[in-house]
């Protein structure tokens, strides 16, 4: 099976702009989660989508939003970008294997905000 | 709230030797899962091993094994016969058991260097 794919791999934006990141899960996986990775804060959970519904949400401002489509592909959007939004954004898809909900990650999108 | 602590920011090991990475966590949950992920310089997060808290037997995956001490809330990773390709950042992660999905809570990571 193909792994989790994320597009684009790199993005450069300026403050105040908005950005949309895309994630295609492993075939058959219905859950998609998003994480932000920064040197200062480490890996932080943004949100999780399952069957087109947000099922879990982390502690991020409303500028961060997401959605999931009927084919399980997911997008996340960040509006009014701030310098602190510069980060590696990781998407993970998951399925329950042997009773364990295991998340498999994509290669990430590196976002730089200037 | 759950927390995960990795007290070793950096470690190094000689090729072919064994190294152990430490992880402790704090939770009031009884049912949960623990994971080790590795993130090489490519930044791709790769699952190394997983452990169900209800299982007393420690998980093993080839050269990787864990020492899971539930009462002590400790979950260390042992890498045997270290290889140059094991050089990476290693993250310990916790997930509460739920039929409503869940989020991974990560530690700060341990940067492992395998030296020839």
pLDDT of residue A99: 59
Category of B42 on φ-ψ map: left (φ > 0), alpha (ψ -120 to 50) or beta:
alpha
A108·B37 Cβ contact <8 A = no
pLDDT digits (tens, 9 = 90+) for B48-99: 999 999 888 999 999 999 999 999 999 999 999 999 999 999 999 999 887 7
Residues of B with CB below 8 A from A110's CB?
Answer: 43
Integer Cα distance of B67 and B30 in angstroms: 18
Cβ-contact B101, B2 below 8 angstroms: no
B50·A90 Cβ contact <8 A = no
Residue among A42, A85, A95 at smallest CA distance from B93 = A42
Chain A residues whose C-beta is within 8 A of a chain B C-beta are: 31, 33, 35, 42-43, 45, 48, 50, 55-56, 58, 88, 90, 92, 94, 99-108, 110
- Among A4-8, A16-20, B50-54, the minimum mean pLDDT is found in B50-54
- Taking residues B20-43, report their average pLDDT: 95
Residues of A with CB below 8 A from B102's CB?
Answer: 48, 56, 101
Integer Cα distance of B82 and B113 in angstroms: 10
CA distances (Å), A7 to each of A17, A36, B43, in order?
18, 15, 15
Mean pLDDT, chain B, whole residue set: 94
For residue A21, the Cα-to-chain-centroid distance in whole angstroms is 7
């Amino acid at each position: 099976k193909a792994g989790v794919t994320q597009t684009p791999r790199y993005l450069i934006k300026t403050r105040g702009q908005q950005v949309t990141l895309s994630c295609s899960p492993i075939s058959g996986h219905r859950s998609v989660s998003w994480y932000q990775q920064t040197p200062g804060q480490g890996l932080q959970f943004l949100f999780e989508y399952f069957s087109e519904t947000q099922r879990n949400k982390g502690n991020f401002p409303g500028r961060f939003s997401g959605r999931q489509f009927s084919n399980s592909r997911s997008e996340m959007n960040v509006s009014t970008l701030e310098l602190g939004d510069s980060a590696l954004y990781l998407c993970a898809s998951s399925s329950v294997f042997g009773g364990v909900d295991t998340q498999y990650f994509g290669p990430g999108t590196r976002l730089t905000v200037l | 709230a759950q927390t995960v602590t990795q007290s070793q920011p950096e470690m190094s090991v000689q090729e072919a030797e064994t190294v152990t990475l430490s992880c402790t966590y704090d939770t009031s949950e009884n049912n949960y899962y623990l994971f080790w992920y590795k993130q090489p310089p490519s930044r791709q997060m790769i699952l190394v091993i997983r452990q169900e808290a209800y299982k007393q037997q420690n998980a093993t995956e080839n050269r990787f094994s864990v020492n899971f001490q539930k009462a002590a809330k400790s979950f260390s990773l042992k890498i045997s016969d270290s290889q140059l390709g094991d050089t990476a950042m290693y993250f310990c992660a916790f997930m509460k058991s739920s039929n409503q999905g869940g989020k991974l809570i990560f530690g700060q990571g341990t940067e492992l260097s395998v030296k020839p």
